[in-house]
Amino acid sequence: MNETTKYKMLIQREMMKGYTAAYVQAEPTDQQQKLPAPGALKAAGNGKRIPLPLDFQDAVSNRNLLSLIRERESCRKYSKEAVPLNTLSFLLWAVQGVRRMAGRGEKITFRNVPSAGSRHPLETYLFIRNVEGVAPGIYHYLPSGHQLELWEDDPDYAEELTEALNGQDFAAEAPVLFVWSAIPYRTEWRYGWQSHKYILLDAGHACENLYLACEASGCGTCAIGSYNQELLDELLGFMPGPSGEKDYEFAVYAASVGLLP
């Protein structure tokens, strides 16, 4: 291992610690400076919206927490049957559903997964190939109204997505691929340098909820951490490269989903 690689690894390790001397806050956070808070939710676009059912109790076939934890595992093979819409609705609710909003002015959200300071920097996108009653394409989840909005009307993205996922065709061809993006400033506004550790922890919380929700509803899932950043961001229409803009957004995690075979 050369010295340049060692130095880069050291920086990444210090980021994971979060509170070491290397990350002492040199200046007050934007919250401490009383600068306006970023919005808790990404504004909806102009795409067609699909209301998601909230009566998804029938989607849950296993409610035994002990067995869910014991039997949870990654699954890379899926049934050719369409994922029922109420099952997808349940998975989205479990992963990023909003329980309530609170606060004055820019409100914060309380959701079904934990997040540092309830900042919830993640957005959820879906590459849908085979969901009951939903045309193939790329969708964005609107958690406050529990809706999907059509993000990109692209029914045949498998080849591009396979390349973006570093050749993992099982994920690109899954009935649904979840992709979580981060809008870092939501967390940076409050926590400054410590934010990036928290954002990655938040992504882990979301994906673990997806694993348990899939196990409860007869689905399988597989977390995807290997992907081409530029290609996946491009597919989702995000601006390429590093940026200091407050609304900057990029992919951080993914997971394939389908009914168990």
Q: pTM of the entire structure?
A: 0.94
Q: Do the beta carbons of residue 227 and residue 251 sit within 8 Å?
A: yes
Work out whether strand 219-224 and strand 122-128 pair parallel, antiparallel, or are unpaired: unpaired
pLDDT for residue 20 is more than 70: no
Taking alpha carbons only, the member of 156, 137, 157, 158 closest to residue 148 is 137
CATH homologous superfamily of 50-259 equals: NADH Oxidase (3.40.109.10)
Where do the domains of the chain lie?
50-259
Taking alpha carbons only, the member of 97, 85, 180 closest to residue 133 is 85
pLDDT at 226: 97
Q: Do the beta carbons of residue 18 and residue 197 sit within 8 Å?
A: yes
pLDDT for residue 188 is more than 90: yes
Quick: pLDDT tens for 193-212.
889 999 999 999 999 999 99
Quick: pLDDT tens for 162-177.
999 999 999 999 999 9
Burial track 21-39 (b if 16+ CB lie within 10 A, e otherwise):
eebeeeeebbeeeeeebbe
